[in-house]
Chains A and B, each alone.
Chain A
Amino acid sequence: MEHLSPWVIFFAAIFTGNILLTYFLGMCSFLSVSKQIKTAVGLGLAVTFVLTVTSALNYFIYYQILKPFHIDYIRYIVFIGVIAATVQLLEMFIERYSEPLYINLGIFLPLITVNCAILGVSLFMIIRKYNFIQSVLFGAGSGLGWFLAILAMAGIRERMKEDKVPSALQGPGITLIIAGIMAMAFIGFSGIVQIQ
């Protein structure tokens, strides 16, 4: 995949191959934290940071350590370890410098570790054989794409706060329906650039 410009990959990760709306990865925090724009922004930035850092670190570890020693099959465990450490670091940082955000995010900050989008991006970059720059921009782009999706969802849900939703659909029900409609809207981007 060396002929693809990293910026094309970056752009595609945000719009045409949106990790959340096209690949449906990372849904649980997306559904739970999209009630308020403030918190959604906080989580979106956190996920973007984790994705960028872990794609860089995992790329380095995979190609410099795992592959040379022929133990690339262990990448699932190692990648998760790196993700967990990165999230812990981020937690400490947020707790120190923005306690309101730390409290607002609650359990969802440590839950970033098991967000399948994060592991997914690291595995995708291996499968698609991206080089370092491509991997980092893929990670950053996926993060921004996830950020965009959760921001849009939060905006819609805040706008809908006063509207009457049938009681059976309130909460996760209507959110999933909205996510589906957003996904359909994003299909509209798919003609712009085709990565995979």
Chain B
Amino acid sequence: MNILITALIVSGINALLALLLVIAERFLANYGTCKITINEKEKLDVEGGRSLLASLKEEKIFLPSACGGRGTCAYCKCQISDGAGPVLPTEEALLTAEEIQDQTRLACQVKVKSNLDISIPEELFNIKEFKAKVDRLQDLTYDIKLLRLQLLQPSQINFISGQYVQLESQPYEKVKESVSRAYSIASSNSKKTHIDLMIRLVPEGICTTWVHNYLKEGDELIFTGPMGDFRIHDGVGEIIMVAGGSGMAPMVSLLHELTRNQSKRKITYFFGAVARRDLFYLDEMKDFKRSLSNFTFIPALSKPLPEDNWKGVGGLITVPLENYMKEIKADDAQIYICGSPGLINACGQVLKKHDVTEDRIYFDPFA
């Protein structure tokens, strides 16, 4: 009998405590609906309690993020003038003192607990989430594939030549989650229903392995975009392009735009590769030569194999670039580079030697 009373009383006390906690959670963990005001004009009503990044994504506003909201990449910076609360230690690790003073915060770390007043760059409003179908998946080289996507919902995309999209991979084998990776659009922006992407297989890469080994024509996928500010800049001076491998993607898009505008500017494209097996799109480059008034495509192989029988330019791409810079007057030339920071650095050194100022060098970096 004693044991029964004990059990009853202890359970009773615990039940009471549990009830207390449930009631408290109702009040404390519930943030209700919060209003987010963006750039002083857009107003959104969201459910409180989640990160700003996630809440905005729910409302189809996509802030850039490379780490998926883990708080390691600092891409999701935005300005919050009201309602953000004190700066978190996870943010302090990635923001400078000036940024914090400027009210810059990390959207993935700030929790929406009350009404917020935020500012984000206007171009982010143009970024949408697209559902697309794989129209074509073909090999360009032994490690680069062309992925042509047909847009389903929305069915059209408006982008500036040179921009990129974030492709969402799907789970396969041991990979249980999606990741998001950036690829430049390689097609003409006058074609609004389809986009081309050039995807190079990265060793141990989650997304590229999925594209190369598991994705099939007819499959559906999701991507977000368009993003980025790599584009053609107006001018009369000649255009010099430097990009190898999948770096050719934005250049193809730029070349399509230049063709459409019937540009009379002199265009030279230096394509750096190792051996003949790295060359692709040679026919397309011939087409551009025909349709543009003054276009030259210069591939350079740094270590051609004997069987390649290479008679063209040899050495690292900086070699023909340097030789070219020596010949021309580069006062108003514009240089467009797409590739690794190593390539950009190497080219930058060559260009500096020939007095090309930084404001005329545009690059689409790999970061």
Query: Is A–B contact present in the complex under a CB 8 A cutoff?
Result: yes
Chain B hits for A98, CB < 8 A = 86
A161 within 8 A of B: no
**In the complex, given contacts A71-B2, A85-B21, A96-B28, what are 15 additional A-B residue pairs having Cβ atoms less than 8 angstroms apart?**
A61-B13, A66-B9, A69-B6, A70-B2, A71-B5, A81-B14, A82-B17, A85-B20, A89-B24, A92-B21, A92-B25, A93-B28, A99-B85, A99-B88, A100-B86
Contact yes or no, A100 B88, CB < 8 A: yes
Chain B residues with a Cβ closer than 8 Å to the other chain, count: 23
Chain A 55-74 near chain B by CB (<8 Å), digits 1 or 0: 00000010001100111001
| Chain B nearest CB, measured from A103 CB (Å) | 6
Q: Which residues does chain A contribute within 8 Å of B86, judged by CB atoms?
A: 98-100
Is B111's beta carbon under 8 Å from chain A?
yes
- Whether A69 contacts B9 in the complex (CB less than 8 A), given A85-B17, A89-B20, A96-B28, comes out as yes
B202 adjacent to chain A (CB < 8 Å)? no
Q: How far is the CA of A85 from the CA of B21 in the complex (A)?
A: 7
Q: Mark A90-105, 1 if CB is under 8 A from B, else 0.
A: 0011011011100110
B-chain residues with CB within 8 Å of residue A89 when the two chains form the complex: 20-21, 24
Which of A71, A78, A96, A104 interacts with B29 by CB under 8 Å? A96
Chain A residue at smallest Cβ distance from B3 = A71
Chain A positions within 8 Å of B90 at CB level: 103
14 residue pairs A–B, Cβ–Cβ below 8 Å:
A71-B9, A74-B6, A77-B10, A78-B13, A85-B18, A85-B20, A88-B21, A89-B21, A89-B24, A92-B21, A98-B86, A99-B85, A99-B88, A103-B89
Which of chain B's residues has its CB closest to A106's CB? B89
From B2, B13, B18, B29, A65 is in contact (CB under 8 Å) with B13
How close is A159's CB to chain B, nearest CB, in angstroms? 22
| CB of B42, distance to nearest CB on chain A (Å) | 26
Residues of A within 8 A of B6 (CB): 69, 71, 74
Choose among B10, B14, B29, B113 the residue that contacts A92 (Cβ–Cβ < 8 A).
B29
For the complex, what is the distance from the CA of A98 to the CA of B28, rounded to whole Å? 12
CA distance A28 to B13 in the complex (A): 29
Q: Is the CB of A65 within 8 A of B20?
A: no
- CB-CB under 8 A from A88, the residues of chain B are 21
Bound-complex Cα distance A60 to B64 (A): 55
From A61, A66, A85, A96, give the contact of B113 (CB < 8 A). A96
Contacts of A99 in B (CB 8 A): 85-86, 88, 111
B24 near A78 with CB under 8 A, answer no
The 10 A-B residue pairs with the shortest CB-CB distance in the complex, in nearest-first order: A85-B17, A92-B28, A71-B6, A96-B28, A100-B86, A100-B88, A89-B24, A81-B14, A74-B6, A103-B89
Residue in A closest to B18 when the chains form the complex, CB atoms: A85
Convert B27-58 into 0s and 1s, putting 1 for each residue whose CB lies closer than 8 angstroms to a CB of A.
01100000000000000000000000000000
A92 with B13, Cβ < 8 A, contacts A99-B88, A99-B111, A103-B90 known: no
Write out, one digit per residue, whether chain B residues 106-134 have a CB within 8 A of any chain A CB (1) or not (0): 00000101000000000000000000000
Chain B residue with Cβ nearest A91: B28
Nearest-neighbour CB distance to chain A for B123, whole angstroms, equals 30
Complex alpha-carbon distance, A53 and B218, angstroms:
64
A193→B86 CA distance, assembly (Å): 43
